[in-house]
Structure 1
Amino acid sequence: MKWSKLSLTTLIVLMVGLCAQNCEAQQKKKPAAQAFQWVNPLPERFKSDRLEHATFVSSSMKREVGYCIYLPEAYSESQQSAERFPVVYYLHGGRPGSELKSIGLVPLIDEQISSGKVAPMIYVFVNGGPVSHYNMPDREQAMGEDVFIKELIPHVDGKYRTIAKREGRGLEGFSQGGRGTARIMFKHPELFISAAPGGGGYETEKKISENDGYENPHLRFTPGYNTWDLAREYAKSPEPKLNILIHVGTKGFNYENNLAYMEFLDSLKIPYSKVIVPEAPHSAKVIYEKRGMEIMKFHEKKFAVARKGR
């Protein structure tokens, strides 16, 4: 078939137009990533009597850092008393994320506590820094772990009626926050009575362990600063005893490497419990919808001793 110059030109124009429309549609589906910020105000739709956004001044960075805090109804009702409450620190997924990343869990958390199924506890949603929950000494204002451990925890214990000791403090997170939870629990077992890492990318952490700290050619962590090497170090002297609950969905893309990491913990004789959620994708919210009460009960059980002595 012979094409005239006119029809060929028309065809080219049509193809370019379709390509442009397709590219525009793809751009709409994938909005540009938002730049990292240490303070991210709470959107109006999330504001409630139970959830508030607050900040503190980081002494190391000389700037404000944001966090979100869930306070159960019992906390407000006991304002005139000296009653204190245990705290779960929740580490968000994503890189970077923010203190807002995981607050979609709050209605599910509040439902269990307000119904009396789980004893009242505070949840603090942490801002993990520009490389979520890692310390990055070679970058300015990027010591996410230290800001959490050395600054946020003392601030929360000073401002709110918490049980300010290991027996009243839990740690939890999902995805990138699951990795952070596992690293931090092995690095700071003296700070948390319970730790519940969820959906962590342990295959990536293993790569970091095996490649002198490199996650990729452009990102390197301090050698030994990963969930594999820190677990090995803890196993040499497993004190104080860690209470660990690993949770993951069978349809999540990190499911297989969570199974491999559990086998690794078995080889080190590090005990743990697990919640494996059939058909659940890589989603903390779906896991909480299906089995969240079990995760919360895990923390509650470990807090029991502290509650008796408060």
Structure 2
Amino acid sequence: MPPFTPSPEHLEKLNLEWVEPYDADTAPANLTFATYDTPVRGPGTQGSYWYRLPPGYADETNVSTRYPVLYWLHGGMARGSQGAKAVALYTAAMEAGQMPPVILVLPQGLPVGWYLNSIDRKYPIEDVLIKDLLPHVDTTFRTSGVRGIEGFSMGGYGSLHLGLRYHELFLGGGISAIAPAILSSLKDEPQVRIWDTFRGSQAYYDENHPLTLATNKAEALRTAVTSPERETRGLRIRLLSGGDDLRLTDAIARLSSVLDEVGVPHERQDVPGAGHEYDLILAGLGDNAAGFWGRAFGIKGEASAS
């Protein structure tokens, strides 16, 4: 199925949605809505996110405990609340002891923002997330300074772009991309989905593509992934795709090959019977869906006393 293509009028409206419209009647029951200031965009501006605190966070015995944060990035033409099914899966895994307790944060990205500063700087979504959201989360919640990042489709591109570019922010955690939209050419994406960010510049697309980042940062990534301190300061990377997602499987396989070529260990799994649907891909992984985060954050010592 081809990606949804909005009308110019619809897209213009969505591009103003730095704050996701909130409706108490339709809000996911397992998430809490919040806003944060975005000085990167100018005085008086805000963005939004959803969050889920881990089991035991509010317990009196844990008032000094600090937790890792897992950021979950939504896909194109979607909103932060798209990740509610992933939150349900990971919360159940925490309760079952399959992954450590972590704070789950689902930012509102722009519908076709690619989690990348637009070439004309009109939409500085990358800077907003890195310079505004991350510090806000660290001052609002009891965080340990350890982070992971995961995303689906456009959010998968975003998790790779942000995770690889700022890999030092995710040491001790991991980068997970679910069906990342990492086609090699802008011509393979509908223009309405890429124009506001790239303005037709293949050069800008190439400069920021995960393939380029993986190649240019190979030595630093290789050191992080193979660090003797991997369990506490290392980095894990995984690439996931649906076996029936014929539009993206070749591009994802190519990135995996490049990581192999430059010596960056990673996990790669193609889930049979799943298409471009993150919940089916995660379900097809069984225990390994959350198991990756158990290994990335470490089942033991996952939270620290302040």
The amino acid that maps onto 1:249 is G
1:173 paired with 2:139, answer no
Count of residue pairs brought into register by the alignment: 269
1:85 is aligned to 2:67: yes
Residue identity matched to 1:87: V
Using the TM superposition, give the Cα deviation of residue 153 of structure 1 relative to its aligned residue in structure 2, in angstroms.
Answer: 0.7
In our comparison, the structure showing a higher alpha carbon Rg is 1
Deviations 1:174-224 (A, max 9, x none): 1111111111122111011211111112223x669xxxxxx6794333662
Distance across 1 between alignment mates of 2:80 and 2:135: 17
Structure 2 equivalent of residue 244 of structure 1: 237
Aligned amino acid, residue 233 of structure 1: N
Normalised TM-score (structure 1): 0.77
Alignment of 1:65 onto 2:47: yes
Q: Is the 8 A contact 1:38 1:98 kept in 2?
A: no
CA distance in 2, matches of 1:256, 1:116: 35
Change (3 A) 1:59 1:137: farther
Distance 1:45 1:250, change over 3 A: same
Partner in structure 2 of residue 152 of structure 1: 133
- Name the structure 1 match of 2:179: 199
* Code of the aligned partner of 2:72: Y
The residue type equivalent to 1:45 in the other structure is: T
- Structure 2 residue matching 1:39: 3-state secondary structure: coil
- More divergent stretch after superposition (281-290 vs 187-196): 281-290
Q: Does 1:296 align with 2:285?
A: no
Aligned-pair CA distance for 1:134: 1.0
- For structure 2, the 5+ residue unaligned runs are 188-193, 226-234
- Indicate the structure whose relative CO is greater, using CA pairs within 8 Å and at least 6 residues apart: 2
- Measured at CA, do residues 42 and 301 of structure 1 come closer, stay the same or move farther in structure 2, by a change above 3 Å? farther
Cα deviation, 1:46-89, whole Å, max 9, x if unaligned, reads: 343x4101001111113010001111232133486211211111
Contact 2:28–2:84 (Cα < 8 Å) also in 1 = no
Q: Which residue of 1 aligns with 2:109?
A: 128
TM value normalised by structure 2: 0.78
Match of 2:208 among 206, 213, 225: 225
Q: Answer whether contact 1:97 1:132 (CA < 8 A) is retained.
A: no
CA apart distance, 1:137: 4.6
SS in 1 for 2:106: strand
1:4-43 aligned at under 5 Å gives the runs 33=10, 35-36=14-15, 37-43=17-23
* Structure 2 equivalent of residue 211 of structure 1: none
Residues 141-166 of structure 1 show CA distances to partners (whole Å, capped at 9, x for unaligned) of x1111111111011001001111x2x
Q: 1:30 to 1:232 in 2, by over 3 A?
A: closer
Give the equivalent residue in structure 1 for 2:84: 103
> For 2:282 and 2:219, how far apart are their aligned partners in 1?
34
Q: Which amino acid in the other structure matches residue 19 of structure 2? A: V
CA distance in 2, matches of 1:143, 1:245: 26
Contact in 2 for aligned 1:128/1:134 (Cα 8 Å): no
The amino acid of 1:66's aligned partner reads S
2:276 to 248, 266, 282: 282
Counterpart CA distance in 2 for 1:135 and 1:100 is 22
Distance across 2 between alignment mates of 1:162 and 1:79: 16
- Using the TM superposition, give the Cα deviation of residue 284 of structure 1 relative to its aligned residue in structure 2, in angstroms: 0.7
Q: Distance in 1 between matches of 2:26 and 2:73?
A: 21
Distance 1:293 1:119 in 2: 14
Partners of 1:201 and 1:137 in 2: how far apart?
Answer: 19
Matched, 1:256 2:250: yes
Q: Name structure 1 gaps, 5 residues minimum.
A: 1-28, 209-214
In structure 2, the residue matched to 1:20 is none
- Output the CA distance in 2 between the equivalents of 1:308 and 1:155: 19
Checking the alignment, whether the CA contact within 8 Å between 1:56 and 1:66 is kept in structure 2 is yes
- 1:287–1:69 distance in 2 versus 1, CA, 3 Å: same
1:302 to partner: Cα distance: 2.2
RMSD after superposition: 2.7
Give the AA of the match of 2:107. V
